[in-house]
Amino acid sequence: MQWLDLGMKLPITDPTWIFFLVLVIILFAPILLNRLRIPHIVGMILAGVMIGEYGFNILERDSSFELFGKVGLYYIMFLAGLEMNMEDFKSIRTKAIVLGLLAFVIPMTLGFFSNVFILQFGFITSVLLASMYASHTLISYPIVIRYGISRQRSVSIAVGGTAVTDTLTLLVLAVISGMFKEEYSDLFWVWLVAKVVGLSALIIFFFPRIGRWFFRKYDDHVVQFIFVLAMVFLGAGLMELIGMEGILGAFLAGLVLNRLIPHVSPLMHHLEFVGNALFIPYFLIGVGMLIDVRILLVHGGALKVALVMTVMAMISKWIACWATQKIYRMNSLERELMFGLSNAQAAATLAAVLVGYNIILPDGQRLLNDDVLNGTVVLILFTCIISSFVTERAARRVAVKVDCEEMNAEQLEEEKFLIPVSNPETIENLMGMALVMKNPKRKGGFIALNVINDNATSQSDTMNGKRQLERAAMIATSAGVTLNMVTRFDLNIASGIVHTLKEVNASEVVIGLHRKATLVDSFLGNMTESLLKGTHKQVMIVKCLMPVNTLRRIVVAVPPKAEFEVGFFKWLERIARMGSQLGCKIHFFAHLDTQRYLEGYMNKNHAGVRSEFSELSTWDDLLLLTKQVNYDHLLVIVSARRGYISYDPSFDRLPHQITRYFSNNSLLVLFPDQYGDPQEMISYADLSQQQESPTYEQVGHWFYKWFKKK
């Protein structure tokens, strides 16, 4: 068939035009269907039906659709594991296992009896077909990502249940397919389970260690992106080598790399962007090209099989979600969201039907005949459409509910991070630290500041400052966050920061730790000291020896009476967010009275974050932390300005202790919000230099030692 007399025939086989048409579909399908309130995932599948062999035959389902389709399928499972909140998952893992078992047992039971008594199939055919009802694919998972509810409890339960259900389904598929192989034996399925468990243990042990080493050694985002994709396909390929489907390996890779890729990091943004823009739509279009709607009108047997398969699959999944809801007393909206995510059939269902279709029985018939093949395609179409509609409706309602709750719970103060940039070596770590501390729901609230001294107004200083601001903006943009760039001329850097703080009404400052230039130079530096005297807002001084996402633990030293400072819950919220994003355990060392406030806040607001509490009676015990802080830990020291409630004279020895005992550790020195305006006219003690203890303190220590000897 000639097309517009341009020498082009249908179906189009030229790679350039194939890719162009696919991109046009990816571009316009969401735009057109959003006006009709139809999920764009449904649009991708329907577009695949129209352009495929069974539609207008515009494109042929060539090897590119098979390649990108497989990548897209792995990507869906990988993102599902990567997006899962592992801290919350630990508290709901029992619910996820229950949902997974119910979503496997109920469809297997109902499906087996319907296949035997209604469709009149044999035993093995009925078991394999029933396992297809049990499996499901997270086709509608991109919808919950788009609405920002991927870390809701019901979503985590559905994702965890998917892993359980699909694993059991793939085991059934592997055993049945192995029965028709020459090497099949009575211990085949036992050996298969042993291989799956062994390989999973290897992935869980080695992948995080390899990933942490790689991220520490290479900080280029492109290199990190390629590395992550390589790990995904390595996990998928290893699973296929032992006879399982690669989707299980991709999901497992997402789980084990979860803690190395924070939800708000630039790398996470890149992974989601590429997957949702290209790989996943390609997979959905390829699924649509398999669907032949005409069989419903032409072949009565196929229509009957398709009707039974679709009804049994949907009813059994709804019963499983309803039972889980009743067992754990969840609300109807959570049940609806679980049903929407667990209803779609695609990946494992396609794998099972193709395997069964290619198995030839001794009598010359196929294990799964043409009616089952065509019925499976219709099953995929209807379940994907219904899954998308249900998930879209539930996700919208959940997102509105969550936003209203968070709006009521938010503090009146607007969250704004002011990040002075001057040293190109610290910009990456400063931005990374601020990103893991910010509210995940906020897309703004970042101000990068470059202060230029009035006495040094050379063109080179201005250009260098502009380059640093642009680099900070690139990091923020790659993480999906907006950042305002401010260049300021002032008498000195500290004054410029203080004035900008007031002008933009920033809530806190994140700066890098000063490097001592001379022996008489102070630990914090004159600029930081002036900044602390010039503002009562929270100041965080950062020294990172490795990328933020590779930290394994956060150790927090809290002084006595810190709970009486006005900024106590503010800095505690920032540390808790950091622990949640990085998946780190937070170990608090504090006085027993302060511990009660810390435990109460963490249990109420961040119950999913792993936390531990130990006593730190006096600040002199800070040296005990040397045994608790390793090279890949972050030491957070909560200090205070002189003259305030939680200030302790032993703070004067902090610079010496840090320099001597914690020089090889990543460090965060935190000065919280405190009441009152800065009083620059009062003579403050030097916070950065090691000072001699006051006379009364020396005399007290002398008498204590003397009586102790006696």
**What's the pLDDT at 457?**
58
Residue 65: pLDDT band (50, 70, 90) is: confident
Q: Tell me if 421 is assigned to some domain.
A: no
Number of domains in the chain: 2
Q: Tell me if 481 is assigned to some domain.
A: no
Q: Tell me if 640 is assigned to some domain.
A: yes
Q: Tell me if 477 is assigned to some domain.
A: no
**What's the pLDDT at 684?**
33
Cβ neighbours of residue 118 under 8 Å, at least 6 residues apart? 308
Encode pLDDT of 344-369 as tens digits: 887 667 667 767 777 777 777 778 88
* Residue 59: both structure tokens together: 């494109």
Encode pLDDT of 305-324 as tens digits: 888 888 998 999 999 999 99
Q: Work out the percent of the chain whose per-residue pLDDT is above 90.
A: 14
DSSP letters along 638-662, please?
E---TTSTT--GGGGGHHHHHHHHS
**Helix or strand or coil: residue 539?**
strand
Q: Tell me if 530 is assigned to some domain.
A: no
pLDDT at residue 1 tops 70: no
Residue that terminates a domain, selected from 407, 432, 453: 407
CATH code of 273's domain: 1.20.1530.20
Residue that terminates a domain, selected from 407, 434, 455: 407
Encode pLDDT of 364-383 as tens digits: 777 888 778 778 777 877 88
Q: Are residues 400 and 548 in the same domain?
A: no
Counting Cβ atoms within 10 Å, is residue 187 exposed (0-12), middle (13-18) or buried (19+)?
A: exposed
Encode pLDDT of 466-521 as tens digits: 888 888 888 888 887 888 888 888 878 888 888 888 888 888 999 988 665 444 44
pLDDT at residue 454 tops 90: no
Q: Tell me if 461 is assigned to some domain.
A: no
Residue of 677 and 67 predicted with greater confidence: 67
d(CA 172, CA 244): 10
d(CA 276, CA 599): 39
Cβ neighbours of residue 176 under 8 Å, at least 6 residues apart? 124, 127, 128, 355, 356
Q: Tell me if 454 is assigned to some domain.
A: no
DSSP letters along 398-414, please?
HHHHHHHHHHHHS-SSP
d(CA 137, CA 344): 6
Residue that terminates a domain, selected from 407, 431, 459: 407
* Residue 153: both structure tokens together: 């409890």
Q: Tell me if 566 is assigned to some domain.
A: yes
Q: Which domain range does residue 332 map to? A: 2-407
d(CA 328, CA 340): 18
CATH code of 627's domain: 3.40.50.620
